[in-house]
Structure 1
Amino acid sequence: MRIAAATAFGTGHAPLWLLLLLAAASGTASATFQPGVASIVPQVAKDLRNLLEGWHEFRSRTGLWVVILARAVNGITTFGPLRPLTTLLVANEHGATGLGLVWTAFGAGNVRGGVIGMRFRPKRPLVAGAVAMFAWVALPLPNALGLPLWWTCACFVVGGAAWAFWSVMWAMSVQSQVPAAVLNRVYAYDVAGSLIAFPVGQALAGPVAELIGARTLLYVSALVAVVTFAVLLSVPAVRSLRRAEPPA
């Protein structure tokens, strides 16, 4: 293959598509017959099978993939922009100390929401979590409204608790509804969606804030969050998903 590619290149008249085709064939041959590279081919094939199997499990559960889609949308439009915009506005208004207090309040809310999530076992965990997420708007609104620092901290306790409670309800739903044998593959799609959406939202926050204003963008984030979770609650598969009881 390499000789053929070199000959075609040496003539000076070979079309680009032919050179690319010969290069691809040469690389494939090297991967197939070189022992060090060929040894990983079975593992790659196994990983692909696992991904396809995970995709089947993921797609077959409407109540789960709808939530992951909603998380991705919110990652770009609400969750992602929240941190850089909060840092910008709070630091400008209240300095580093104020910013530290706000994120400390968020962490305290996380702890409280996580504890509530572990103790409260609703029959419909996704519904309970989605309803709680309406309180997430307590995170963008205080800075959008320009509220005093202590109000912002109080709101971040509430929003942080809502976020943690939702996270517990979501994790419980996935772990109780998906067979253990394919659980990690389904989770892979959830993590992939979050890893892609959050950085995109953070990267877009600056340019969009420059265009429409940071406070306006926070209003938009709050509105998108409310609409998204209202739509989520309208999905029958989400409303009907019940807590799986442990075997007796």
Structure 2
Amino acid sequence: MSVTDNTYKSEAAERIPAPAEPPALWNRNFRLFFVARAVAVFGEGMVPVAFAAGLLGAGHPGSTVGYALGGWTAAFALFVLFGGVLADRFTARRMMILADLLRLPGAAVLAVSFSLGSPPLWAVYTLSVAAGMGAALFQPGVASTIPRIAPDVQRANAVLRVAEALMTMAGPAAAGLLVALWNAGAAFAVNGVTFAVSALCLTLLRIAPLPSDSARRDSLGAELAGGWREFRSRSWLWGVISIWTVYGLTVAGPMVPLTASLVTEDHGSAAYGVLMAVNGAGSAAGGLLALRLRPDRPLASGAIALLGLSVNLALLGLGAPVALLGAGQFIGGAAFAFWLVMWSTAVQTHVPQEALNRMHAYDVAGSLLMMGVGRTLSGPVAAAVGTQQVLLTGAGIAVLVVAALLAVRPIRTLPRV
């Protein structure tokens, strides 16, 4: 090879730009938001265990635990749309801080009450509903904050998904330990501390205001209607949520209670706990996978990944041994986490910032309501036709849902921003 050739190659290499380094994710704002979300999910995971231990330990029937948690879910579903409008009106950060501060006294009251004895049921239900309203004010702001603090939205969603998966496992475990060592009041006390930490982290965020933050606002009703128009104008958005309502009703909703009852009856509660831990590990793996893969068509890739949930349901419905059920739970957790990252990233990068809180609220409200209906109906339907039959039917519907997502052109072809 001649000197001329080497010189030519050297000059050519200089003309080829080096691949751009991805922007740094862990800036000050993202670190604060990461801590806020991690401690919040950790605290939320403690609540069902704390309610169960506190109410059952006080001699109340198991239905009271369902009423307490159901009150939280109902309040969340009813008020989350208004939470989206208020977040667009007063900024997401302010509403999230307010939501944390509103839920903190309720957690403190429950901590003291369960430590001293047994609070009256009306107080438990009222505070649970208030906590659900606080969560409804908080949740819409999560979606709109990420693109304003993270230079790489998909990486941010993936990292947060991994953290949430780990905290979802750690929260119930910590609550069980606190209840065993002290009482349910200790778990509620730690839950209250997580609200305080979250509020402090969010207060320390420094986010540049949008022009819409200081713009003149319409009435609450007009903004709610405006959000609906924004929602309807995006066929890929309402297409996914419309299909997802069927998925929530027939697959995602029944899956949790029926899995719990089937595995516990066949293999015991310890096996069910292990399988849920494996599912959480799968969710963390799905988040890590979303850190590596950057598909050009995020919703199409996420939909294909959802086929993993049908594998999980099929193994449950066929009565597979525990080892195979564990594999199914890992695959299902990874599949669902990967879809969530792709979906969140698509919404956060395609919807205008000034409407993002309301769009996220419509998404959460629609999904949660139908999942709630699916959970409610799963027991009677399983009693009529059999738990395994319902799960196998759900596996088939899950495949059809993936086919429907891929069949809708705006969903299938939505590009990465």
Q: Could you say which TM-score interval applies, normalised by the shorter chain?
A: 0.7 to 0.9
Q: Distance in 2 between matches of 1:202 and 1:101?
A: 22
The reply on whether 1:199 has 2:372 as its aligned counterpart is: yes
Number of residues of Structure 1 aligned to a counterpart in Structure 2:
201
* Amino acid in structure 2 at the alignment position of 1:51: L
Map 1:52-201 onto structure 2 (within 5 A): 52-201=225-374
Displacement over 3 Å in runs of 4+: none
Mark the runs of 5 or more structure 1 residues left unpaired by the alignment.
1-44
Give the SS at the match of 1:140: helix
Q: Deviation at 1:57?
A: 1.2
Whether 2:399 is the aligned partner of 1:226: answer yes
Equivalent residue for 2:412, pick from 239, 243, 246: 239
1:213: how far off? Answer: 0.6
Residue segments in structure 2 that go unaligned for 5+ positions in a row: 1-217
User: Displacement, 1:111?
Assistant: 0.4
One-letter amino acid of the counterpart of residue 228, structure 1 = V
Deviation string 1:3-47 (CA, Å, 9 cap, x unpaired) is xxxxxxxxxxxxxxxxxxxxxxxxxxxxxxxxxxxxxxxxxx722
Cα shift at 1:118: 2.7
CA contact (8 A) 2:243 2:404 kept: no
Quote the Cα distance in structure 2 between the aligned partners of 1:154 and 1:215. Answer: 18
Between Structure 1 and Structure 2, whose CA radius of gyration is higher? 1
Checking the alignment, whether the CA contact within 8 Å between 1:73 and 1:197 is kept in structure 2 is yes
Larger deviation, residues 155-164 vs 130-139: 130-139
SS at match of 2:294: coil
Using the TM superposition, give the Cα deviation of residue 119 of structure 1 relative to its aligned residue in structure 2, in angstroms.
Answer: 2.7
Q: Which amino acid aligns with 1:69?
A: S
Identity of aligned residues (%): 44
Q: Deviations over 1:63-106 (max 9, x none)?
A: 11111111111111000000111011100111111001111111
Using a 3 Å threshold, how does the CA distance of structure 1 residues 58 and 153 change in structure 2: closer, same or farther?
Answer: same
Partner SS for 2:268: helix
State the distance in 1 between where 2:306 and 2:261 align: 24
